[in-house]
A and B are shown apart, each in its own frame.
Chain A
Amino acid sequence: MKTDVAIVGAGPAGLSAALYLARRGLGVVVLDEYFRAGGRLAGQLYENPKKPPGQRLWDGKAIAEKLSGDVKKAGATILTGVSVWEIAPGSGVFISGGPCQKIAAKAVLIATGAAERAMPVEGWTIPGVMSAGAAQVFANVHGVLPGRKVVMAGIDPLSITVAGELKKAGVEVVGIFLPPPGILAGSSGLPQWVIGELSRSADMAPGTFLKMAGKLFGGSYREVGARLCSLAPANIWGIPLHLRKAVIRVEGEEQVDSVLTARISHDGKIEQEDCRIEADAVCLSGGLYPLTDLIAAAGCPLVSMPGLGGMVPLHGPLLQTQSKGVFLAGSVTGIEGAPVAIAQGHLAGVSIAAFLGRLGKGNRHELDRAVEMVGQAREESPLKFYPGADGARKELAALWDRWKINSAGGNYA
């Protein structure tokens, strides 16, 4: 199969790039290993308090359906159930599960999104234990609950959001607990650190649910201190949020039947085993990181940016990489919400059109406008996954400039 642009990932980033490119008349093939287009949009349903009333509802599933419909109407091909296992810079991508083995393309866009960081607990391989994201997908997308009585371990924006969604769907959420302390949980096992992170990201978080959590912890130091001293859980929509208790073991033979919790000291040590709680499912949350396997295998250097969720591929302001003809968009460039991914997808589309000489002479301003739109989406973004994203973006831009100066690779834009 031959086309102008191969796009890996049919999430919001990949789809909006496809829409722009197809409307410009370029041949586009979008590939996704999931059986349905939309990426992580499908699980999202929240209100954005930063938007004017009437435009606040963010129904990810509906947005995904409209976007992929528009992409097809514009003439692009979307292949689902197809995994990309290698990029050949300059010549295309290799696929598995599709109608052929290679999609030959002049440019490639990597929009592979994010993955969840694991948060292990003793017994986490027992059936019934799953990641918070898995519970979100099963409940919101497939309409099947992870269990009747669920325990959450790991306290972050994603786990709190998912806990709220599960409760609304009729699950008894027994509580949200700290992960077991130790080197794997690291700072996310420390009560003080968790409160700090929550209060910094929660005022930006989606929905009343997280806002309430924000108010709860965003108060004065004295209040936060009091909260820390208290062994009583905070209460969010009737869900106990335990800042001084951790899940330390999941128990069960063929499937989960209970979890063991322990009291945690201020500095994150186990004080005392607490109690055994009956549950039929456990959701673990350790945060999100950019899914960079494909782009790293193509030889693109990764840079450590904790503010963006971990290692991110070095890329330029027009979402270009060091490999000529290979571009990036969406959460693979750093963990941010879906509106940012959509804006980045558009920018990548314009950038690729320019790379292929298809932007047209009078249209350079489209590039500037697309860059501005990314900035605007960022400002309006309701959800901040990691405090410090803005600083990390600046640092990344500086690194790119330094690379451009130090190498002969300055033949972009």
Chain B
Amino acid sequence: MLRIKGKDREKGREGDQITFTFNGLSYQGLAGEPIAAALLANGVRTLRHHEKSGKPRGIYCGIGHCYECRVTVDGVPGVRACLTPLKEGMEVMSERAGEVTSNEN
């Protein structure tokens, strides 16, 4: 486990242990922590594959700037996993090509 143990870190935790899925597999996480943190704590680093090259990608900036961590959450595409709090029963999917929110106008 990559979670930090110890009392002083405990207060940084958001809450109860909950269950969510990523690409159909079931994982445990803490309610309210970012989806990306829950996945990293489970050892999951690849969040999507690049639309063009198919190369694996994971968190890079951690604070919403780079959009590398975008996933589809409960059917909504283009969600940044580093910014989005985890909820019980969330269905998280790797972004598939064609579902990407475009910023070109």
Contacts and interface: CB of A to CB of B under 8 A. Distances in A.
Interface of A: 33-35, 61, 81, 115-116, 125-131, 133-148, 169-170, 253-255
B101 to A, nearest CB: 10
B45 A144 contact: no
Nearest first, the 5 closest Cβ-Cβ pairs linking A and B are: A134-B62, A127-B58, A127-B45, A142-B37, A145-B2
8 contacts: A35-B83, A125-B57, A127-B45, A127-B58, A136-B62, A142-B33, A143-B4, A144-B4
Contacts of A148: 2
B9 A143 contact: yes
Contacts of A133: 61-63
Contacts of A135: 62
B41 A131 contact: no
B12 A142 contact: yes
B77 to A, nearest CB: 14
Contacts of A169: 4, 9
B59 interface: yes
B21 interface: no
Given A142-B33, A144-B41, A131 B2 contact: no
A255 B58 contact: yes
Contact of B4 (A34, A136, A145): A145
Nearest to B66: A131
Given A35-B83, A127-B45, A147 B2 contact: yes
B65 interface: yes
B58 A128 contact: yes
Given A127-B47, A144-B2, A138 B58 contact: no
B62 A131 contact: yes
A36 B85 CA distance: 10
Contacts of B57: 125, 127
Contact of B40 (A136, A144, A253): A144
Contacts of A116: 61
Contacts of B5: 170
Given A35-B85, A145-B4, A137 B13 contact: no
B62 A33 contact: no
A33 B46 CA distance: 23
Given A61-B12, A127-B59, A144-B41, 5 more contacts: A130-B59, A130-B60, A135-B62, A143-B12, A169-B4
Contacts of A61: 12
B83 A131 contact: no
Interface in B1-32: 2-5, 9, 12-13
A270 to B, nearest CB: 25
Given A143-B12, A143-B13, A144-B41, A138 B62 contact: yes
Contacts of B85: 35
B83 A170 contact: no
Interface centre among A129, A142, A147, A170 (most CB of B within 10 A): A142
A35 B3 CA distance: 21
A359 B84 CA distance: 39
Contact of A254 (B33, B56, B65): B56
Contacts of B13: 143
B56 to A, nearest CB: 5
B59 to A, nearest CB: 6
Nearest to A127: B58
A147 B45 CA distance: 10
A144 B83 CA distance: 15
B46 A127 contact: yes
A182 B65 CA distance: 25
